[in-house]
Amino acid sequence: MAQHHNMAELERAWTGIAGRLRAYFVCRAGPTDADDLLQDCFLRAMGSWNGFAGRGRCEGWLWRIAVRTAADAYRRRPRGTAPWPDGFDPPAPPADADALAADAGRDGPGATADAVWAAVGRLDPPQREVMALRFAAGLSYAEIADALDVPVGTVRSRLHRAIATVRDRMRSPDDGP
C-alpha cells in the first residue's frame, strides 16, 4: 500500500510540472525531440522512484533527472549539430529581450526572439542550461540550484554572465562561435 501511495506522489508531482518540463526540453532540444525526452525523463523517474521515495522535494528530484536527460541527449547528438534544429520555433524570449534588442540596435518582435535565442544557442552548456531553466521553464533561482545541485550564487553568476554574453553577441551577431 505504501508503494502505491508513493507512486501517487510521483504522479502528482509529474502532473504539476510536466508542462514546464516540456517547455524546458523544447528549449534544449527543439519541439521534435521534446516529447521523446519528456517520456525518457518519466521512465527514468519511474525506474529510480524506489531509490528516491520521500528523500527531499519530488519536484527538485524530477528537475535533476530532466537536466541529466537533456545533457545525455546533447552528448549523443552528432558533433557539429546546432543546439537547436533548423526551423526551431523558440519559446518567448527572456523578459528583458526588448531591452537587449534595443541595446543592440535591433527592433521588431520576430527579430528580437530570433536574435535572443540564436545568441542563447551559442552559449556554453552551463550558461545555456540556466537560461533554459529560468526563461523557458520558469524556475526560480532556488529551483534551478536544486535541479543543477549547485549553490544559488552559482546560478545567479551563470545567469548574469549568460545575459551579458547574449547582450554582447546581439551587438555583434557574427562574432564568436
How far is 83 from 152, CA to CA, in rounded Å? 26
Say what the pLDDT of residue 1 is: 42
Domain ranges of the chain: 2-171
Say what the pLDDT of residue 21 is: 94
Say what the pLDDT of residue 74 is: 80
How far is 67 from 24, CA to CA, in rounded Å? 9
User: Has this prediction a pTM greater than 0.95?
Assistant: no
Say what the pLDDT of residue 171 is: 78
DSSP string of the chain? -HHHHHHHHHHHHHHHHHHHHHHHHHHHH-HHHHHHHHHHHHHHHHHHHHHHTTSS-HHHHHHHHHHHHHHHHHHHSPTT--SS-TT----PPPTTHHHHHHHTT--SHHHHHHHHHHHHHTS-HHHHHHHIIIIIS---HHHHHHHHTS-HHHHHHHHHHHHHHHHHHHHSTTS--
Q: From first to last of its 177 residues, what are the pLDDT tens digits of the chain? A: 445 447 788 889 899 999 999 999 988 888 888 999 999 999 999 998 888 866 778 888 999 999 999 989 888 866 555 555 554 455 554 555 455 555 444 554 445 666 777 788 788 889 989 999 998 899 999 999 999 999 999 999 999 999 999 888 887 755 555
The sign of the torsion formed by the CA atoms of 58, 60, 66, 72 equals negative
Say what the pLDDT of residue 102 is: 52
Nearby residues of 15 by Cβ (< 8 Å), 6 or more positions away: none
Query: From its phi and psi, is residue 176 left (phi > 0), alpha (psi between -120 and 50) or beta?
Result: left
